[in-house]
Structure formats: C-alpha cells, structure tokens
C-alpha cells in the first residue's frame, strides 16, 4: 500500500469519526426543557437578541440596517412570510416563521443554500424564550407582534439544554495559531487568505470569515473546506462568462454596473481581476460549482485541516 493511500484512509477515518461524534454531541444537548417563563417575550427583547447573541445580523440585514448578505434581507419579512405560508399550505405567516427557525432546511428561499444554522444548537444556542422573543420581533417587520399567537407555538421550539455543554473536542488537538499560519501562508497555492478576509487581512473573493465561529458548527466548517460545492454562499457563486471574441472566464462577480462587469478569476492560484464592457459579453451565467478549490483533502494534512478548523472556530 502506498503512503498516500494510508494517509487518505486515516484522513477519511478521522473525518467520519468526527461526524459520528457531532451527531452524538448534538443529540445530547438538544433535550427537552423543564418549565419556562414568559416574561421576556416581546419585540424589544427580540430585537436585541437578533442583533446580539442571536447572531442573526451576521447573515441577515433588515432594509438598510446591517450589511450582511449571506441570508435574505428581512425587510417586510412578515408580509413575505404570509405569502410563503400560502404558497406552501401553512396556516399562517407565523407558522412559516416558526418553521424557518426550527427546521431551516425544510424550505429554502430561492437562490440560497443550506447555511442557516439551527439557532437553538451550538454555537448560537438560543434558549426557547429568546427564540420566542425573536419571533415577536420578526412579526413587527412589516406587521404586528401577536404574543398570544406566538405562545401557541411554544412547544414547537426546542429548548437549548440547561445541562452542561460539552465543548467540541477535535480528533486531533492543534493550536489555532498553527491553523492561522496556514490560513495566511501565501506561499501555498491555495492559501485561504487569497480569497477570504479575517479581521481586515486577506482578499475578498469569497465571504469574509470574521466571526464565522460564532454562527457555524465544526461540521459546517469542515464540510465547507472539504466539499465546497455542497453548499454555496449566496453572492459568491461562480460566474461563467463568454466574450464576443470567444474567450471564456470563470470567476466571482466583484462588481457590476452599466459601464463594467468585474470578475475575480483564479489563474493558477493567483486571483486576477478582469473588467469587461457589457457589450463584449455574450453570455454570463451562475454555476453550481464553488470557486473554492475542491482538493483540500489532498493539499492539507490532517493536522493542518484541524489547525484551520480550530482557528476558524476561535473567530467569535
Ligand atoms: C450563517 C448565516 C445565518 C444565520 C446566523 C441566520 N440565518 Fe436566517 N437564513 C440564512 C439563509 C442563507 C437563509 C435562506 C435560506 C433558507 O431559507 O434557509 C435564511 C432564512 C431565514 C428565514 C426565512 C426568510 C424568508 O425570507 O423566508 C428566517 C425567518 C430567518 N432566516 C431568521 C433568522 C433568525 C431570526 C436568525 C437569528 C436567530 C437567523 N436567521 C440566523 C442564514 C442565516
Ligand atoms: C480561490 C478562492 C478560495 C480559496 C483559495 C479558499 N476559498 Fe473558501 N470560499 C471561496 C468562495 C468563493 C466561497 C463561497 C462559495 C461557497 O460557499 O463555496 C468560499 C466559502 C468558504 C466557507 C463558507 C463561508 C460561509 O460564509 O459560510 C468557508 C468556511 C471557507 N470558504 C473556508 C476556506 C478555507 C479554510 C480555505 C483555505 C484552506 C479556503 N476557504 C480557501 C473561495 C476560496
């Protein structure tokens, strides 16, 4: 057996073992509750949680408040929720909102992928009462809060466990500082910082990763690195562009106006920006393959992978 084969086998084993661990871990902490209070269920409390510990603002903006684009803008959400409820045969907009939180993957807003986390699980870990408060705030976005109606869904909202939270234990412990080094090591062809910004350092080809550890699980982060095309963050889809002189380009749309379309293109590991006049573009289309390299299981060692993962998890 070749050394590579053995390495790949060990790698796969570690990753699978890790997923099994996550399953057990998540099941253990999302148990049921014992007795809850109603006191904090109001839109004011919900608004604070939305922009604070709920981390919703890392992915959602509301009108011109906030700048996040990972998730849909939630201006007039209550109105949209009514429409989506009708479309899907649910009884009310509120039922739709509850479903969006309890099981975010059941229905995906068009154009978006499965990146909305279950906010009652780690790392966000909102308790039931806080989720109810957030729901009342969501109702005020284009509508009115109906606390009585919300309380009827109380039992549908899982309670974040009051039991001791077991911290994530990676299969191999690697100092996040080591991961940070690999992340920013631009001598490597696939340096993460060629495409990602953390705390102001790096380039904005893919989404900024500052704060990613506060909203995503180890499982999501590992999958994003090993299987980037599985979920694609909205706004960072790869575009396929053909020009009138028969050239074609793959890249991320950096900017688009009446005068110019700019693509960030990966040319053998160097990110280059190309500008196009609109009248020289024959075709431009979104693809469902990520521009992020799909071969990190070959180009990173297992230690490097877990170093990067623990670094990203430390970004809160
Ligand atoms: C890591 C990013 C992320 C975080 C954090 C996040 N969301 Fe989302 N959310 C999304 C994405 C992406 C979608 C669209 C895909 C889908 O429908 O699941 C979405 C969809 C939704 C929807 C349905 C919207 C619609 O237009 O139909 C609601 C409601 C929602 N999120 C509420 C919240 C709330 C409340 C929080 C905080 C407690 C939150 N989200 C945190 C990414 C996120
Ligand atoms: C050539 C550019 C490129 C390189 C190099 C690259 N990425 Fe990405 N990355 C992207 C793009 C584009 C996306 C958004 C599309 C997608 O979701 O796959 C992305 C998405 C991600 C996400 C999901 C972000 C979110 O908001 O949900 C993570 C995590 C991530 N990358 C980590 C890494 C790490 C770690 C490395 C280095 C080992 C790396 N990337 C290298 C381009 C790149």
Residue that is written with structure tokens 């269920």 in the block:
41
Task: Report which of 218, 19, 216, 229 is spatially closest to residue 115, judged by C-alpha positions.
Answer: 216
* CA atoms of 33 and 146, how far apart (whole Å): 24
Predicted local confidence at residue 17, as pLDDT: 46
Residue closest via CA to ligand 2's atom 42 equals 292
* CA atoms of 307 and 54, how far apart (whole Å): 27
User: Does the N-terminal peptide bond of residue 74 adopt cis geometry, omega within 30 degrees of 0?
Assistant: no
Task: Pick the ligand that lies closest to the CA of residue 237.
Answer: 2
Q: How many residues does the chain have?
A: 316
Mean pLDDT of the chain, nearest integer: 88
Longest dimension (CA), the chain: 69
Predicted local confidence at residue 270, as pLDDT: 87
* CA atoms of 174 and 185, how far apart (whole Å): 17
As a whole-number percent, the residues of the chain with pLDDT over 70 amount to 86
Predicted local confidence at residue 103, as pLDDT: 95
pLDDT tens for 286-296 read: 998 999 999 99
Give pTM, 2 decimals.
0.86
Residue closest via CA to ligand 1's atom 34 equals 56
pLDDT tens for 217-267 read: 999 999 999 999 999 999 999 999 999 999 999 999 999 999 999 999 999
- Cα four-point dihedral sign 10, 15, 19, 25: positive
In the chain the domains, ranked by start, together with CATH numbers, are 32-156 (1.10.760.10), 238-287 (2.30.30)
Q: Are 275 and 264 in contact (CB under 8 A)?
A: no
Ligand 2 atom at minimum distance from 266 CA: 1
pLDDT tens for 269-279 read: 889 999 999 99
Predicted local confidence at residue 25, as pLDDT: 39
* Rounded distance from Cα 205 to ligand 1 centre (Å): 23
State which residues of the chain have pLDDT below 70: 1-39, 161-165
* Rounded distance from Cα 5 to ligand 1 centre (Å): 40
Predicted local confidence at residue 8, as pLDDT: 53
């Amino acid at each position: 057996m070749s050394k590579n084969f053995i390495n790949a086998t060990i790698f796969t084993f570690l990753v699978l073992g890790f997923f099994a661990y996550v399953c057990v871990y998540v099941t253990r902490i999302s148990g049921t509750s014992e007795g809850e209070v109603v006191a904090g269920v109001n839109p004011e409390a919900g608004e604070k949680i939305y922009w604070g510990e709920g981390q919703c603002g890392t992915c959602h903006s509301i009108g011109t408040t906030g700048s996040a684009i990972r998730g849909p803008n939630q201006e007039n959400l209550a109105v949209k929720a009514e429409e989506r409820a009708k479309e899907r045969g649910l009884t009310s907009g509120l039922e739709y909102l509850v479903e969006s939180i309890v099981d975010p993957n059941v229905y995906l807003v068009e154009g978006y992928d499965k990146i909305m986390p279950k906010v009652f699980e780690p790392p966000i870990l909102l308790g039931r009462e806080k989720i109810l408060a957030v729901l009342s705030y969501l109702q005020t976005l284009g509508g009115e809060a109906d606390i009585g109606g919300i309380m009827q869904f109380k039992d549908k909202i899982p309670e974040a466990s009051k039991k001791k939270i077991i911290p994530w234990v990676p299969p191999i412990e690697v100092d996040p500082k080591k991961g940070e080094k690999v992340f920013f090591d631009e001598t490597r062809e696939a340096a993460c910082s060629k495409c990602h910004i953390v705390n102001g350092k790096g380039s904005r080809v893919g989404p900024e990763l500052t704060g990613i550890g506060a909203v995503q699980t180890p499982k999501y982060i590992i999958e994003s690195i090993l299987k980037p095309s599985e979920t694609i963050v909205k706004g960072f889809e790869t575009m396929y562009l053909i020009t009138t002189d028969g050239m074609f380009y793959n890249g991320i749309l950096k900017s688009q106006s009446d005068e110019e379309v700019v693509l960030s293109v990966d040319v053998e590991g160097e990110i280059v920006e190309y500008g196009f006049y609109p009248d020289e573009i024959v075709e431009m289309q979104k693809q469902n393959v990520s521009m992020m390299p799909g071969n990190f299981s070959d180009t990173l060692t297992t230690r490097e992978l877990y170093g990067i993962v623990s670094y990203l998890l430390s970004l809160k």
